[in-house]
A and B are shown apart, each in its own frame.
Chain A
Amino acid sequence: MERIPILKMGDFLLVTIQVDLYDQLAENLESDLINTISKHSSKGVLIDISAVSIIDSFMGRILGNIAVMSKIMDAQTVVVGMQPAVAITLVELGLSLNGVISALNVEKGMDLLRSKMHVSDNEEQDYDDDNE
């Protein structure tokens, strides 16, 4: 059974999508990710779509699902490497990919994830300070 590999990069997970997703594969990815986030208490997920040349509403739904599921598990999802033609087509199609944050590439994606972690760390800090 084909499965999309998930790489652990410190606090984050990296998923590189290089094949066209179909129902079963997408479902497997969702469950694999959720389990891996839980296992490592990952704080963020990077989905590299630089090799994806077509994103239709099905794929859009998958990305949205992953973002929501991860958030529930306290992990932030960032989609990186969207191709220009895909971005233009998505806008024309009217797909807004709500709940999905984007970054230009993996590096910027990680910076983004780290900055979001610091924000939540600081919020925790303030909370502790207030309650002392």
Chain B
Amino acid sequence: MQNNFLGGLKEHENKLLTIWSQLLIESGSDDGAVEEEESKEFASLFLSALTNLNGKFQDSPEFEKVEDLIIGISSSRGKRGFSPRENAQYLTTFKQAASQILSELITDPEQLFQANLQLNAILDNMTIMTFEAFMRGREDVISRQVDEISEISTPVITVWEGIVALPIIGTLDSSRTQIVMENLLQQIVDTGSSIAILDISGVPAVDSLVAQHLIKTVSATRLMGAECIISGIRPEIAQTVVHLGIDLTGIITKASLASALKTAFDMLQLTVVKRKQV
């Protein structure tokens, strides 16, 4: 029965842990990983699953538990900032340790070869899983950071009673537009403002899609009963808009935030007057 080869590893669990730990130190990626409970738990579960191995390891429910555990470990290591190499080495050193013990246990070359083949099959598959989990962990961090950046880069400022300004910095894609619209409209409601100034001097390029997003934002603002002025139109943008045949009729546009503010004052029938010198 070929399963006996790997099943014999369980008896040598502590020795395996020691070798594993040493290999990790040698590879420079030791961080006390092997001493941690989860690593011991992994080794224990894995070796137990090996003893009960009957047929394909993919079908074994015990292996499923091991896989869940290693996925959890990798994911958390990924989030904690371990390098991809360190992540992979976690299991490759484990494989090395197990292989070392196998060569002590099995004398017959053919049997040893078979055992190693089987060990490889199981651990290679698991290594791929850890890589995937590691990547997912990193991707979670990235997507959280993207959210934060989106929040920071769309601040809504109340420039005057009843007037809010929203300077947009960076590219305006459809998901960002949603966030911009939500922020802007909510602020309009919260502050009871009737005029919003959308400044796009920080938007590098305006194509038909971006223009569409801007037009949608203006429409939504008007539906709610407020007005929206687009400011910060650079000369290149004006050119592009005309060349692309984008129809901005009905949209109030101003070259600078200052002139947008003046327009807003006019709309609210406010006048700025210089104080008389005494």
Chain A complexes with chain B: yes
A interface residues (Cβ-Cβ under 8 A, vs B): 79-80, 82-85, 87-88, 90-92, 96-97, 101-105, 108-109
26 chain-A/chain-B pairs, Cβ below 8 angstroms: A79-B225, A82-B225, A83-B189, A84-B181, A84-B188, A84-B189, A84-B220, A85-B182, A87-B220, A87-B221, A87-B224, A88-B181, A88-B182, A88-B185, A90-B223, A91-B219, A91-B220, A92-B216, A96-B219, A101-B225, A102-B222, A102-B224, A102-B225, A104-B188, A104-B189, A108-B194
* A104 and B216 within 8 A (CB): no
Main secondary structure of the interface of B (DSSP, over half): helix
Nearest-Cβ distance from residue A63 to partner chain B, whole angstroms: 11
* B225 and A97 within 8 A (CB): no
* A104 and B224 within 8 A (CB): yes
Contact partner, A82, options B182, B192, B216, B224, Cβ 8 Å: B224
* A87 and B194 within 8 A (CB): no
What is the bound-complex CA distance between A88 and B188, given in angstroms? 13
- Of residues 248 through 269 on chain B, the ones whose CB sits less than 8 Å from some CB of chain A are none
What is the bound-complex CA distance between A104 and B220, given in angstroms? 12
Nearest-Cβ distance from residue A51 to partner chain B, whole angstroms: 14
Q: How many residues of B contact A (CB 8 A)?
A: 18
Contacts of B186 in A (CB 8 A): 84
Q: B178: CB under 8 A from chain A?
A: yes
Nearest-Cβ distance from residue B266 to partner chain A, whole angstroms: 15
Nearest-Cβ distance from residue A64 to partner chain B, whole angstroms: 13
- Of residues 34 through 93 on chain B, the ones whose CB sits less than 8 Å from some CB of chain A are none
Contacts of B223 in A (CB 8 A): 82, 87, 90-91, 97, 102
Rank and list the top 3 A-B pairs by shortest CB-CB distance, nearest first. Answer: A84-B185, A102-B225, A103-B225
What is the bound-complex CA distance between A30 and B185, given in angstroms? 30
Q: B230: CB under 8 A from chain A?
A: no
Contact partner, B220, options A79, A88, A101, A103, Cβ 8 Å: A88
Nearest-Cβ distance from residue A56 to partner chain B, whole angstroms: 14
